[in-house]
Structure 1
Amino acid sequence: MDTALELDHVTRTYGRGPHAVHALHGLNARLYAHSLSAVMGPSGSGKSTFLQCAAGLDRPTSGTVRLAGREVSAMRERELTRLRRERIGFVFQSFNLLPTLTAQENVLLPLRLDGKRRDPVRARRMLARVGLEGRADARPGELSGGQQQRVAIARALITEPDIVFADEPTGALDKDTAADVLGLLRESVSAYGATVVVVTHDPAVAARADRVLRLADGRLAEETARVPA
């Protein structure tokens, strides 16, 4: 299996001296391409810091992060910005849609920011894939929470990224809607070959993931792989 993401002895410390906060302690982790991986743990376990360092949003204090074979932790800020725009997709708990833009315009936003040609047909096709056919002209305020998260997933996939990071993507949704969104993330792996890393506290995510990493006090406490049925 190809490695999509590798963290090698990653440490992240905030502050100095006796008041320093050690969010990650020499963390080693390897996640594989074309799979759904869940990163779990209680509050303060290091889940958010894991995502920040893995996605190039924060730099580790020490250690290395490699994404699709490229050392993210050694890149300059301009390189990181381009990497995030071209090779990484993001899905957040709060959706992060622009309220003045339509669903179609929100989906095309990553291409617009990167100066690439915006293809409305492609955006509508992506919206149809996530179950929003006919809602391309709706604005976020006209959509339910689950529908907004579907737009966010379409936006994350429009650039065909190497990896999608989803930060508590079901946290703001009711149980049934959360299950639908989780199924959509699962489908993006099986149908479209995406690589998805979900940072979550939801055990339902772990039940659908190919691999589960459980963090505790900034360390990898347990790693399990799903046994095919």
Structure 2
Amino acid sequence: MDAVLELTHVTRTYRHGPHAVHALRDLDARLYAHSLTAVTGPSGSGKSTLLQCAAGLDRPTSGTVRLAGREISAMGERELTRLRRARIGFVFQSFNLLPTLTAQENVLLPLRLDGRRRDPVRARRMLARVGLDGRADARPGELSGGQQQRVAIARALITEPDVVFADEPTGALDQDTAAGVLELLREAVGEHGATVVVVTHDPAVAARADRVLRLADGRIAHDTVGVPA
């Protein structure tokens, strides 16, 4: 089986004056369709950098990143932007919602940017599934942090992307809502064949993953394949 997402000898080094910080060190990973992978590890281990490089939001210092056989680490910004709009969903830790748009308009934004038909009914249904029924017309400033996070999750899933990257998607949620969000991510795997990659400190998320990659010092310290609970 061909990997949907492949990172080969990926190193990411940041310079701070005369000092170098090695966020990722010669990392190799192959991720497949119909799978949910949890990326765990202590703070500073390279988890978010791994997501950023894998999604084409950051470029590795060396090594290659391939999505569906295409080397995204060598793409120009315009081509990469088109690819992300069409095939990638991303849940940012900082949400990245547009403050002047309603929750519904934020959810529909990826379809609008990609030139696809916008379906308000579908957007409201997606918002209801993340526990925001009746809040479609609220703007981010009228929502709590946890509610904004749920809007960001609905936005990432609205395009039914091939790959979903989520950085601590349950971090600001109560236990019941977090369970519902995790179920949505699992549905993206089961119903749409997506490849879902989740950075998390939540053991409940790791327990529902098909695979757990534990990072330490920018490397994969443990690669565990299991059966989700």
TM-score, scaled to structure 1: 0.89
Instruction: Give the distance between the partners of 2:129 and 2:3, measured in 1 at CA.
Output: 27
1:18-167 correspondence runs (5 A): 19-167=19-167
Give the corresponding residue for 1:200.
Answer: 200
CA contact (8 A) 1:189 1:196 kept: yes
Q: Distance in 2 between matches of 1:80 and 1:146?
A: 30
1:124–1:228 CA distance, 2 compared to 1 (3 A): closer
Q: Partners in 2 of 1:20 and 1:189 — Cα distance?
A: 38
Contact 1:7 1:64 in 2 (8 A): yes
- Contact kept in structure 1, 2:5 and 2:32, CA below 8 Å: yes
Q: Distance in 2 between matches of 1:195 and 1:128?
A: 23
Give 3-state SS (helix, strand or coil) of 1:170's partner.
coil
Kept after mapping to 1: 8 A contact 2:102/2:137: yes
Offset, 1:38: 0.7
Amino acid at match of 1:158: I
Q: In structure 2, what is the Cα distance between the partners aligned to 1:179 and 1:122?
A: 21
Secondary structure class of the residue paired with 1:15: strand
SS at match of 1:43: coil
CA deviation vs aligned residue, 1:22-70 (integer Å, no higher than 9, x gap)? 1111100111112111111101111111111101011111111011211
Deviation at 1:11, TM superposition (A): 0.8
Change (3 A) 1:126 1:209: same
CA distance in 1 between partners of 2:60 and 2:221 (Å) = 19
Distance 2:177 2:118 in 1: 30
AA at the equivalent of 1:223:
D
User: What's the RMSD between the two structures over aligned residues?
Assistant: 2.3
Q: Flag structure 2 segments of 5+ consecutive residues without an equivalent.
A: none
Matched residue type, 1:209: A
Counterpart amino acid of residue 140 in structure 1:
P
Tell me which amino acid in the other structure corresponds to 1:204.
A
1:129-165: CA deviation from partner (whole Å, max 9, x where unpaired): 4454444323334445444333222211222211011
Compute the displacement of 1:228 (Å).
6.0
Structure 2 counterpart SS, 1:20: strand
| 160-169 or 150-159, which deviates more | 150-159
8 Å contact kept, 1:68–1:162: no
**Equivalent residue, structure 2, for 1:212:** 212
SS of residue paired to 1:30 = strand
Distance 1:137 1:202, change over 3 A: same
Separation of aligned partners in 1, 2:125 and 2:180:
19
Structure 2: how far apart are the matches of 1:160 and 1:30?
21
Quick one: distance in 2 between partners of 1:98 and 1:13? 31
Contact 1:149 1:181 in 2 (8 A): no
Which amino acid letter does the alignment assign opposite residue 186 of structure 1? R
TM-score where L is the length of structure 2: 0.89
- When structure 1 is superposed on structure 2, of 25-34 and 185-194 the one drifting more is 185-194
Q: Cα gap change, 1:95/1:16 in structure 2, threshold over 3 Å: closer, same or farther?
A: closer
How many residue pairs end up in the alignment?
A: 229
Of stretches 117-126 and 50-59 in structure 1, the one that deviates more from structure 2 is 117-126
